[in-house]
């Protein structure tokens, strides 16, 4: 119960280490302090939840655990009257707290007060770099965001958008049209990129769906993958996206 093991994101804190491990460290990363005790029933529910969320956060914040029986002066200093009690520190000061074993959705909502995650920070940096036309650097930030949080949908869409801009840069449409007419798969993919980059999504999607119907094997899979990537570039509620998804399904099956 409530053992930190070898995790770098979960630490045991005592009266002797609190200042260094919580107050000082909170200048670099938010620190969530869990005041608990072995005899406390609700602590047995909240403690593992906080530990799991700390691991999931992957360093966006640190969980510091304080056994109130072993550290009564700390508990008294922070006015702990009931446990589990949770306090959050950022920039050297306490910024939020709650008492009791809250359900997971409530705990997640409470954690939003800690500020942006590392994934969100990388994503925001990518947006700024993309706006400046620094596509290589923006793509690197978006990939970093996805490495931190694979389900970061905004970063995934942004990466598709930037990779499209990179692929479309410098392409010659007239040359591509000649090659595509002869069935050149690379030219078909490049033309679809040019059309998507110019926001002519209906043409891009239609071109790739038609190519799906006429190809098989590895070429067909390449076309499918490019179509899936381009479908993430417009807003998800764009009617051209839903229409293309239906057409793709029809072409494939």
Known catalytic residues are 40, 43
The secondary structure of 113-167 as a DSSP string is GG---HHHHHHHHHHHHHHTT-HHHHHHHHHHHHHH-TT-HHHHHHHHHHHHHHH
State how far the alpha carbon of 158 is from the alpha carbons of 135, 143, 154, in Å: 11, 10, 6
Strand order in the sheet with 85-90: 10-12, 62-67, 31-36, 85-90, 93-99
Encoding tokens for residue 106? 């409530």
Residue 134 contacts by C-beta under 8 Å, 6 or more apart in sequence? Answer: none
Buried b (16+ CB within 10 A) or exposed e, 214-233: ebeeebbebbbebbebbbbb
- Given phi > 0 = left and psi -120 to 50 = alpha, else beta, which region is 14? beta
Pairing of strands 31-36, 62-67: parallel
How are beta strands 85-90 and 62-67 bridged, if at all?
Answer: unpaired
How big is the CA angle at 189 (ends 185 and 194), to the nearest 5 degrees? Answer: 145
Alpha-carbon span 182 to 65, nearest angstrom:
67
**What kind and span of H or E run contains 98?**
strand 93-99
């Amino acid at each position: 119960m409530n053992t930190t093991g070898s995790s770098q994101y979960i630490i045991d804190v005592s009266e002797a280490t609190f200042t260094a491990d919580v107050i000082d460290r909170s200048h670099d990363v938010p620190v969530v302090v869990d005041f608990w005790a072995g005899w406390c029933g609700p602590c047995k529910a909240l403690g593992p939840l906080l530990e799991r969320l700390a691991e999931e956060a992957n360093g966006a914040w640190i969980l510091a655990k304080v056994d109130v029986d072993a550290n009564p002066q700390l508990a008294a200093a922070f006015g702990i009257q009931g446990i589990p009690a949770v306090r959050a520190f950022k920039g050297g000061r306490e910024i939020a707290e709650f008492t009791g074993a809250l359900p997971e959705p409530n705990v997640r909502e409470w954690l939003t007060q800690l500020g942006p995650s590392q994934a969100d920070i990388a994503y925001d940096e990518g947006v700024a770099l993309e706006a400046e036309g620094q596509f290589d650097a923006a793509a690197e930030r978006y990939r970093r965001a996805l490495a931190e949080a694979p389900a970061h949908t905004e970063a995934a869409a942004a990466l598709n958008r930037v990779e499209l801009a990179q692929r479309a840069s410098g392409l010659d449409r007239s040359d591509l049209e000649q090659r595509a007419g002869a069935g050149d798969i690379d030219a078909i993919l490049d033309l679809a990129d040019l059309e998507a980059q110019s926001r002519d999504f209906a043409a891009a999607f239609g071109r790739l769906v038609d190519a799906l119907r006429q190809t098989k094997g590895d070429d067909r899979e390449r076309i499918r993958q490019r179509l899936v990537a381009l479908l993430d570039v417009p807003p998800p509620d764009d009617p051209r996206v839903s229409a293309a998804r239906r057409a793709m399904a029809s072409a494939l099956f």
